[in-house]
Amino acid sequence: MKVEVGCILLVDRSRGSLLFHETILRRRNTVVITALGGSEGLQRAREEHPHLIVFGYDLFDMAGPEFCREIRADQGTQRSSLLLVADRANPEHADLCLSAGCNDVIYRPILRRELDRKVQKLTAIPVRRQLRTLTKIDVSLEKNGRFVLGRSLNISANGMLLEIDRMLPGDADVRLHFYLPGDARPLELQAHVLRAEFTGTMAKYGMQFLTVTEDERQRIEQYVERLRSRELL
């Protein structure tokens, strides 16, 4: 299914929020469509195949994670990028949506420059993001010969979201050292920091794996599948 380049779908439970976001995004000379609530958002997404979907966490008839899973489960919409509009007071909302397939998060109050930057990034290339699963794994990050300890919040075969009690210096790639629960062999993967979030005392870093062998990918996918099968029980 071809994704319409430049088409953006806004989904929210508030007409006021839809109008505000639409006003900002129409400056980009792009097609902007809106939907009130999660069910209407899913229907419009299946009809229009938007390049990007900007949505809130509380969608009246469903929550953000359920909306993300529905988008990712449908062949007609799974390649659309997803951008969550969240409140800093509820950081767990971002974690839940990211684990369900959301691509990125922007926090209220929304700054036009930041929104423009994220929209530009997410509309540059159609992305189908792998589903991630919530999990806590102790991870050692190596950079320039120094080690920092962190803990994963979610993981997929493409990367993980890490929580660390300090800021990482610079933009260079890092090397991650960790064990998957139930797997006796360690994983040592080169990773690139895609995004960083700073809320409270902990920093969160979205990591993209750069060097993954087929064996390593299969081990991670099997672990994720085991966790997801438990979640469905």
Judged by DSSP in three states, 197 sits in strand
Same domain as 78, residue 28: yes
Host H or E run for residue 123: helix 112-124
> CA nearest 101: which of 161, 48, 49, 61?
161
Radius of gyration of the chain (CA): 18
Model pLDDT, residue 16:
81
Q: Final residue of a domain: which of 124, 159, 189?
A: 124
Model pLDDT, residue 190:
93
Model pLDDT, residue 172:
65
The sign of the torsion formed by the CA atoms of 219, 184, 160, 233 equals positive
Q: Final residue of a domain: which of 124, 157, 192?
A: 124
Same domain as 103, residue 21: yes
Model pLDDT, residue 127:
46
Same domain as 78, residue 35: yes
Q: Are 70 and 43 in contact (CB under 8 A)?
A: no
CATH of the domain at 223: 2.40.10.220
b/e per residue 166-176 (b: at least 16 CB within 10 A): eebeeeeebeb
Q: Determine the Cα–Cα distance for residues 229 and 233; give it in Å rounded to an integer.
A: 7
Same domain as 113, residue 44: yes
Per-residue pLDDT of the chain (233 residues; tens, 9 = 90+): 433 346 899 999 888 877 777 777 766 667 889 999 999 999 999 999 999 999 999 998 999 999 998 998 888 888 888 999 998 888 889 888 887 888 889 998 888 888 888 888 787 654 444 556 678 899 999 887 788 899 998 888 888 988 888 777 655 689 999 999 989 999 999 998 877 776 566 788 888 898 889 999 999 988 888 876 665 44
Same domain as 100, residue 11: yes
Q: Determine the Cα–Cα distance for residues 123 and 72; give it in Å rounded to an integer.
A: 17
How many domains is the chain built from?
A: 2
Tracing tokens 């895609």 back to the chain, one arrives at 194
Q: Final residue of a domain: which of 124, 159, 182?
A: 124
Same domain as 102, residue 157: no
Structural domain span for residue 111: 4-124
Model pLDDT, residue 170:
56
